[in-house]
Amino acid sequence: MNHIPSVDLRDFLSEDPNRKQKFIHELHQAFSEIGFVALRGHFLDQKLVDELYGQVKQFFSLEESIKKKYEIAGIGGQRGYTSFGKESAKGSSTGDLKEFWHFGQYDVPKNEDKQTYPDNVLVDEVPGFNQVGKEAFAQLQKTAVYVLRALTYPLALPEHYFDEYVLQGNSILRAIHYPPITEAPKNAVRAAAHGDINLITLLMGAHGKGLQVKNHQGQWIDAIATEDELMINVGDMLSRLTNNTLKSTIHQVVNPPQELWGTSRYSIPFFMHPVSSMSLACLPQCISESQPKGYEDITAGDFLRERLVELGLIKG
């Protein structure tokens, strides 16, 4: 596959069973073959997207000393600010050329500790940033829930199977700033080749080209969403759960041509995580003689911790 397929969530939400089945089939096929799909008809309206990008740009334009006061020690960057070059891809010793902000779950499960669900961090200097981030989080989570419901049909699961795990899951809305490049990078790109940790990732149209996906023939292809689309991909947790029936595809954000080094790039992905106690043990219906079980049993919380250590965000 040398392109990213496009689907419309309104087909799944319609009363027409043929449209609903068409969406289910096309989504499953895309996630099985390349692990990415472009989604129209979602719950995030363009006005909210424009407001969010405007607030994000205001935050990242603040003085470094101001941003640094929102970098909270001891929580692995799960909330608030993470400064430039601090995160690296799994297996890479070079920091990515980015800084970012994390909004987390607002509907926290009872009896969860602050280490698992740290408080969201409020920015005094850009008050609109806090509210627009919360609203975008809610609309992206709502969209993601319906995408997972559509996936339950080919996986022979009840339609609401994922709901109990994700409606209060430890999801993250990440606002990323890739600053202008001032000198030739030494073995560093804006985001090195990686797979996502979580169940699924929803990415609104990024400001600037750069996202590339590695297809199963080993070719890098550009993944560009139109203004009204979200780019959605399978994460490692869903790939484990389905024993690689659904593919977590390697992707990267490459550096722009030299003539565009002086420009910033902004990107805002939503990483849907389940509650920490969810088992990622391979579903029995995804295991067969031709596709034996590929992973040891693990919970989502333990898997997340392992990956945060690998990314250099927390110590093992």
What pLDDT shows up at residue 209?
A: 63
Which domains are seen in the chain, by residue range?
A: 6-310 (2.60.120.330)
In angstroms, rounded to a whole number, what is the distance separating the alpha carbons of residues 223 and 231?
8
pLDDT of residue 118: 92
Q: Which residues sit opposite 232 in a β-bridge?
A: 37, 202
Structure confidence at residue 311 (pLDDT)? 74
Q: What is the pLDDT of residue 316?
A: 64
Q: What is the pLDDT at residue 230?
A: 93
* Rounded Cα gap, residues 302 and 291, in angstroms: 25
* Residue from 284, 132, 158, 260 nearest 207 by CA: 260
- Predicted TM-score (pTM) above 0.85: yes
Position 52 scores a pLDDT of 95
Half-sphere exposure of 133 (CA within 13 A, CB side): 30
pLDDT of residue 179: 84
| Residue 263 contacts residue 208 (beta carbons within 8 Å) | yes
State the DSSP H helix or E strand holding residue 262, giving kind and residue range, or none if neither. none
Whole-number pLDDT of residue 176:
92
- Asked if 24 and 150 touch (Cβ cutoff 8 Å), the reply is yes
Specify the pLDDT at position 254.
Answer: 67
Q: Can you give the pLDDT of all 316 residues of the chain as single tens digits?
A: 567 899 999 999 999 999 999 999 999 999 999 889 999 999 999 999 999 999 999 999 999 999 999 999 888 889 999 988 665 445 544 556 789 999 999 999 988 888 889 999 999 999 899 999 999 999 999 999 999 999 999 999 999 999 999 999 999 999 999 888 766 666 554 556 777 899 999 998 654 566 788 877 788 887 777 888 999 999 999 999 999 999 898 878 766 666 666 778 888 999 999 999 999 999 999 999 999 999 999 999 999 888 888 877 777 6
Nearest 10 degrees: Cα torsion 193, 94, 82, 266: -50
Q: How close are the terminal C-alpha atoms of the chain, in Å?
A: 38
Query: Can you give the pLDDT at residue 92?
Result: 47
At residue 153, the pLDDT reads 97
Query: From residue 180, how far is each of 23, 172, 177, 256, 262 by CA, in Å?
Result: 39, 25, 9, 10, 5
pLDDT at 89: 47
In whole angstroms, give the CA distance from residue 152 to residue 161. 7
